């Protein structure tokens, strides 16, 4: 089977794959960062957190004043006395207490009723729509990938390119980060890209072995241009491996991160923020939200992991004076149905709330509370197009024109401090309503799927 560029990205061959783009660009950028000559001060960064599986927004941001919420969820509804009160008859799930502290401190915005016309309930198609920002046929790039291409490789590129313009801190590259030109690696941790050790090997022995490999690659000659290029890549990789180790060793978290995979991935992002390599976009996932069965237990644990991980990350940034430099966007591919199912869970829904976190977010509630004046088997209709949220993030935070990235002019919402809403153009055409395939259930680890038949028709 051919080993493609995509394989490099998804299998984590960062150091080699970086060289496939421009080896000298890699080493020069790292040297600049480690010598204190990094990019512009106060660089704005975006961290995107994707909640895989379809988060239950109604049990995340709880409609406390809606009697039908309690009627339709006899075992799953969050009791009013346990919810963390916000405003306008809303509350947060009790396991979001760590996040509520940041809401009270003015560091969290909650955008309600986010979705798109004629929503699709398939995990895979919905993720494709959210990650490409397109309701039509899927393209070859993601919305953040197009942003990275434009700002790092196109007419909007700054004078000095960054070492890592974007990083997917996960084992695989999400479609949102697919690019046409720029390189975006998928990494699990900085430690994973250091020179591999052999059991029982001393540091001196490792150093000798690494230098031997480096010398072999540096001194070997070949008439083939491609082989020469790969030798250069290998030499660069050895050098960058040592530099990445130095970056990892210079970071000491200002707070204790929880011992969860999600929190540790956020810690890796904090390392890269601290390194000042010019990275503008980070992407990280937190899966397991496909709660068709026994939701109360599983969803509570997932939300606690989310809140405690994000809280540690925000407090770490704040302690380092970087909270105003980073915006976190947290979303899922869809919400869940209002009515609970017979397995004490919920099935695939449509609209959802999403979160913006950071010192620059205009804190509070955005958008109207979802209406429950709907049939028992229906879902609250979306009120805000998710592409307007993207447009707002691009225009108001990343200071980039959103039309070239999203392919249309959308309304912006004034989500950042000091900004105001702005109208969009005519709505883009919506796809025709269609009955989706049977509902999949995603495993927490992202493995196999179980098929669920919709409990009610989802299209005429």
375 domain residue, yes or no: yes
Kindly state whether residue 457 falls inside one of the protein's structural domains: no
CB atoms within 10 A of CB 172: 14
Torsion angle in degrees (nearest 10) through CA of 114, 366, 362, 164? 0
For strand 90-92 and strand 84-85, is the pairing parallel, antiparallel, or unpaired? antiparallel
In a domain, 1, yes or no: no
| 115 φ/ψ angles, rounded to the nearest 5 degrees | -175, -145
Q: Give residue 20's pLDDT.
A: 38
Rounded CA separation 132/177 (Å): 9
Residue 89 placed within a domain: yes
pTM above 0.95, yes or no: no
Q: Is residue 170 part of a domain?
A: yes
Distance CA 242, CA 194 (A): 7
Residues 6+ apart with CB under 8 A from 332: 50, 51, 52, 53, 54, 55, 57, 289, 352, 354
End-to-end CA distance of the chain: 44
Asked, for residue 265, whether it belongs to a domain, the answer is yes
Answer yes or no: is 213 within a domain.
Answer: no
pLDDT in tens, the chain (460 residues): 333 444 333 433 443 334 333 334 344 444 444 444 444 446 899 999 999 999 999 999 999 999 999 999 999 999 999 999 999 999 999 999 999 999 999 999 999 999 999 999 999 999 999 999 998 887 789 999 999 999 876 544 443 445 678 999 988 899 999 999 888 888 887 776 665 666 666 766 666 766 776 666 556 555 554 455 555 555 555 655 666 667 777 889 999 999 999 999 999 999 999 988 889 999 999 999 999 999 999 999 999 999 999 999 999 999 999 999 999 999 999 999 999 999 999 999 999 999 999 999 999 999 998 888 888 778 888 999 999 999 999 999 999 999 999 999 999 999 999 999 999 887 777 766 655 545 556 655 444 444 444 444 444 3
Report the CATH number that the domain containing residue 156 is assigned in CATH: 3.40.720.10
Kindly state whether residue 202 falls inside one of the protein's structural domains: no
Determine the structural domain holding residue 98 and report its residue range: 44-189+248-452
Count how many domains the chain has: 1
Collect all residues with Cβ–Cβ distance below 8 Å to 216 and sequence separation of at least 6: none
Q: Using one digit for the tens of pLDDT, what is the confidence trace for 265-304?
A: 999 999 999 988 889 999 999 999 999 999 999 999 999 9
Bridge partners, 168 (sequence order): 186, 283
């Amino acid at each position: 089977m051919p080993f493609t560029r995509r394989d490099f990205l998804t299998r984590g061959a960062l150091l080699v794959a970086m060289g496939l783009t421009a080896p000298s660009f890699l080493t020069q950028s790292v040297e600049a960062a480690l010598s204190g000559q990094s990019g512009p001060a106060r660089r704005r960064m975006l961290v995107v957190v994707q909640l895989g599986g379809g988060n239950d927004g109604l049990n995340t941001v709880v409609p406390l004043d809606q009697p039908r919420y309690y009627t339709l969820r006899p075992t799953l509804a969050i009791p009013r006395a346990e919810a963390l009160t916000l405003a306008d008859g809303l509350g947060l799930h009790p396991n979001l207490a760590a996040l509520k502290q940041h809401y009270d401190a003015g560091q969290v915005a909650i955008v309600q009723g986010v979705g798109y016309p004629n929503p699709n309930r398939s995990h895979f198609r919905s993720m494709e729509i959210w990650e490409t920002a397109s309701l039509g046929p899927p393209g070859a790039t993601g919305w953040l990938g197009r942003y990275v291409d434009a700002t790092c490789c196109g007419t909007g590129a700054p004078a000095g390119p960054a070492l890592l313009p974007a990083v997917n801190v996960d084992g695989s590259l999400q479609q949102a980060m697919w690019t046409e030109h720029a390189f975006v690696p998928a990494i699990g941790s900085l430690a994973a890209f250091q020179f591999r050790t052999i059991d029982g090997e001393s540091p001196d022995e490792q150093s000798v072995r690494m230098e031997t490999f480096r010398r072999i690659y540096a001194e070997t000659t070949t008439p083939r241009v491609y082989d020469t290029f790969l030798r250069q890549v290998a030499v660069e990789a050895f050098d960058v491996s040592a530099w990445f180790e130095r970056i990892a060793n210079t970071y000491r978290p200002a707070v204790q991160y929880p011992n969860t995979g999600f929190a540790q991935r956020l810690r890796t992002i904090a390392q890269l923020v601290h390194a000042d390599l010019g990275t503008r976009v980070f992407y990280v996932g937190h899966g397991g939200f496909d709660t068709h069965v026994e939701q109360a237990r599983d969803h509570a644990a997932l939300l606690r992991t989310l809140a405690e991980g994000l809280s540690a990350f925000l407090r770490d940034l704040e302690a380092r004076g970087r909270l105003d430099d980073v915006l976190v966007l947290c979303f899922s591919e869809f919400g869940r149905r209002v009515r609970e199912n017979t397995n004490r869970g919920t099935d695939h829904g449509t609209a959802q709330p999403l979160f913006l976190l950071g010192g620059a977010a205009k804190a509070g509630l955005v958008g109207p509370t979802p209406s429950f004046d709907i049939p028992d088997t229906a879902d609250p209709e979306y009120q805000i197009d998710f592409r307007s949220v993207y447009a707002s993030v691009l225009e108001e935070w990343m200071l980039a024109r959103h039309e070239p990235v999203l392919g249309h002019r959308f309304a912006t919402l004034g989500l950042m401090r000091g900004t105001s809403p702005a109208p969009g153009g005519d709505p883009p055409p919506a796809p025709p309503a269609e009955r989706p395939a049977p509902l999949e259930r995603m495993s927490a680890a992202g493995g196999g799927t179980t098929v669920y038949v919709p409990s009610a028709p989802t299209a005429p």
